[in-house]
Chains A and B, each alone.
Chain A
Amino acid sequence: MSSVFSFQAVSDGIVMNFRSGSTFGSIKEAVSLHASQASDFFNGVNLYLNLSGLELAFEQLQSLMEIVQNYNRVNKIYFTAKEIKSENKETVPKSEAVIINRTLRSGQMVKNQANVVIVGDVNPGAEVIAGGDIIVFGRLRGVVHAGAGGNEAAQVAALRLDPTQLRIASFIARSPDDNHSSDLDPERAFIKNDSIMVEKI
């Protein structure tokens, strides 16, 4: 992620923080690039632009607004100047994860900017999308997308890896048609040499 801005998840959306003192030119360039690559990740999300520490002319603000609207299907865009407290400076650190303590059933979806850990099964028809890794302490039978922002280092691990479809960054794989047994057999999937590899843990 660019060092000009960073993201921070809040209860009802995502805050976009800008490094104080960044020039408008660098912000414009970095955000346009990110928005064009973000695909549908911001679908239905409220986006808060934290402008504290920035000095923008009115025209620059207008131009910034136009750029952030390029985030596909973003819900509402707000401006804020509040200092949002966070223990970590890096807002999507590798260690951050949302933990779901239940089974995801058909029709249910979990979406997170960072990592997702599910303690339970992911049933067929359920969907998990994460900017980082996806770990399932249970049977994974639904659709998962790790590294949804384009992070090819993301991985998917499950006690039983039998997804309907498994996506990492822009790569897609599906489970073999045979062997849908329900025995636990921990495996993880990751990208190597431009394809999705699966190995036992």
Chain B
Amino acid sequence: MREMKNIHTAQVLRERAVQFLIYVAVLLISAVFIWILADLARGGIAHLSWEFLTESPRDAGRAGGIASILVSTLLILLVALLTAVPVAWTSAILLVEFVPADSPFGKTVRFSLHVLAGVPSIVFGLFGNAFFCIYLGLGFSILSGGLTLACMLLPILTSTAEAGLRAVPHAYRMSASALGMTHTAALVHLILPAAAPVLAAGLLLGIGRALAETAALLFTSGYVERMPDSLLDSGRALALHIFDLSMNVPGGDMPAYASALVLAGLLLCINITAMKFAHGLQRRKIMT
């Protein structure tokens, strides 16, 4: 009896200790991150204004705004996602639903994606420059930048989508085939909606990575800060702008902080919409 009690108190103690450690870790992380965000806000908020968002940069970015850079950034992101998402998600679906996990084909694709995830972004930049800009003749352009970024996003999007699809309970698939649904129907109506939140989370991770990228874009989408007319124009991405202002332009710190703040805000908006959308999709598809 006493022994039982001892085990019980030991368990409670352990439970308390673990809870304590987890809360300490979370507080620590929050503190450091809020510190960084506060630093950003303090440095940038004074420089932020409506004009900053609607004007083009002047005097190497020290004056004026970031309108043209925002447009370029969004275009690059759009190109990257439109190319990478279909390829990544189809690969993930194939790997999970149609190919046994230990088949040579599955292994090869998975392995190459892991390796791709570890290529430093600057190597992607040099590759994009050699392949898209020069070999395919796209020149320094938003298209080259977006395609380069798409290569970079492939592993992130695929491996998160794969994890999401694998987590869909097996019962779903069994019930679907018991009901005589085709594989495609089961996928579209059941499995994909069930995995939607995870797909969305992966998408967000990818978008975050894409918006934050500098090195890969320096050699591909380029440095031109003019408002782009077409996808074949060169356009400077926001993260590259921040890098240039903080590392290359004396007196560029204030607009750099402000741009970083805008970037964070942009990301927050994208996150909230994507999450809302994913949850909506999940509910509607599975309920009806």
Q: Do A and B bind each other?
A: no
Interface residues of chain B, those whose CB is within 8 Å of chain A, are none
